[in-house]
Amino acid sequence: MLIGLYEGFISSPLKLDALPFSSSGQGGSKDGLQVLTLEEVQKHNSEESAWIIVGDKVYDVTDFLHMHPGGADIILRHAGKDVDEIFSSIHSPTVLKMLRPDQCVGMINVKELPSRQGDIEEQARIKRAREAIPPVAAMVNLYDFEEIAKKVLSNTAWAYYSSAAEDEASHANNLNSFKRYWFRPRVKLREVKRMRAVADIDMKTSILGVDTALPIFVSPAALAGLGHPEGEVNITRGAGKAGIIQGISSNASRTIEDIAAARIDGQALFFQLYINKDRKESERIIRQIDDLGFKGIMLTVDAPVLGKRERDIRNRPPVSDDETPGGKRGVSANLDSFFEINLQWADVAWLKGITSLPIVIKGIQTVEDVELAIEHGADAVYLSCHGGRQLDYAPAAMDVLWELRQRRPECFAKAEIYIDGGVRRGSDVVKALALGAKAVGLGRPFLYANGTYGERGVKRAIEILEEEIATTMRLVGARSLSELVPDMVQRDDVAFVALRDRQ
């Protein structure tokens, strides 16, 4: 995993036996370091000698090739190149500070790097957009954050966050799925002939015994650092102050320690786990999150390989036919090399055998697999199609939730059920809760909120959801989450078609 990188850098000093350089590869010295040319760096692109450019420094990472948790291929794919953008988006700013000075082999003039030429124009565009950004209080709904994000994020960040698999049909279906479900609001209590008093409502609940102020949580989403240097730390701070739970991605931009340190007293974090091909690495991570006081594990099962995310891929066009072995490009290409492709149900038992933390199985997409997940010991089942980023034409979680309620309502008593995917309104949350979901997750909206306004954006996004959930509960006649029942929601495909055609 990416979070294992730091230990690898420290525990094995990098070899510098490529030095001294010939005079043809040098351009003088600066701050005691040799100034290298791009041509010199490009020669070091093999297992025998692998260099990378980060910022204005050049690092020899040869000895780290076979210790990298994601495998040597990730580094070799970028060896001899300027990796500043992708490195900075994936890794914590503290990583390079942890290296010894002699692990840096030289400096480079960034003005001479072709890969940085586009940065100047893009930075000017972003600066202009940032200067024109409205105050965060002007954000009325979650869509507003997305509109601002289109303008102020880097092309790389926008392509990665907004991308979905292939034709992006599943992503579009996620957004549309909530429009298929309409309310049946109640204005009277069943037991007495009077209107419901909804001045005071209670939105508190718990997730696997962990109290939360609202029935929402932050879905684990990779690389929040693409949108803001503080990355997941901003989201942790905002979620903590609002009293909601955050799921931490295995591919977070910041270290687990950074994120854990940003918690307020009593704040709960859950960790999203992709089981590593090297089980010992997974065990190490589990021990680490256990020691840091995480409250649960979200075992992700819908990503044996990553889906084809074409917006992300197109943002990094190849320069030559030889540049991208296996056709892997984009930010996503760097994320799945450590994934266990042969994940089995028996791995749930293995996981439960090495930790006492509750296990949430994330990425379930059929009623049949809900039953299997419960049968194999899941403490909770997380309905999700990965934001439409994995299998295109996979079902929306909201539709699976509806089907589960119709076909296997007894499952709701056997395990907590969560969903995410396409949630943009408090009314979406209320619909899912009425059908039996214990809590509802949001991913992209928090990435956009963080990428536009940082911690302030995260807090405002939660405020918007809280306001909308409260309003919807009052209007459907529910004073607490326990009063949200399946009878309050009906599926209406005719109304959905009419609404879609009007739009």
> What is the crossing angle of helices 455-476 and 444-453, to 10°?
130
What is the model's pTM?
A: 0.84
The predicted pLDDT at position 94 comes to 65
Q: Does residue 223 surpass a pLDDT of 80? A: yes
Q: Does residue 191 surpass a pLDDT of 70? A: no
Q: Does residue 466 surpass a pLDDT of 80? A: yes
The listed range with the strongest mean pLDDT (42-46, 330-334, 444-448) is: 444-448
Q: What is the 3-state secondary structure (H, E, C) of 330-357?
A: CHHHHCCCCECCCCCCHHHHHHHHHCCC
Decide if 415 contacts 192 (C-beta within 8 A): no
The predicted pLDDT at position 7 comes to 34
Decide if 226 contacts 157 (C-beta within 8 A): yes
pLDDT tens digits for 296-349? 999 999 999 889 999 998 887 765 666 555 556 777 776 766 788 899 999 999
- Three-class SS state of 363: strand
Average pLDDT, the chain: 87
pLDDT tens digits for 343-380? 999 999 999 999 999 999 999 999 999 999 999 999 99
Which neighbouring-strand residues pair with 188? 195
> Which residues are part of the catalytic machinery?
274, 302, 386
**204 CB-near residues (< 8 Å, 6+ apart):** 211, 212, 213, 214, 481
Pull the structure tokens for residue 321: 């036919």
Q: Does residue 98 surpass a pLDDT of 70? A: no
| Percent of the chain scoring above 90 in pLDDT | 63
**383 CB-near residues (< 8 Å, 6+ apart):** 364, 365, 370, 397, 400, 401, 404, 417, 418, 419, 420, 421, 437
Which neighbouring-strand residues pair with 299? 273, 361
- The more confidently predicted of residues 188 and 431 is 431
The predicted pLDDT at position 3 comes to 38
The confidence band for 64, taking pLDDT boundaries of 50, 70 and 90, is confident
- The more confidently predicted of residues 452 and 91 is 452
**247 CB-near residues (< 8 Å, 6+ apart):** 217, 218, 219, 220, 269, 270, 271, 272, 298, 441
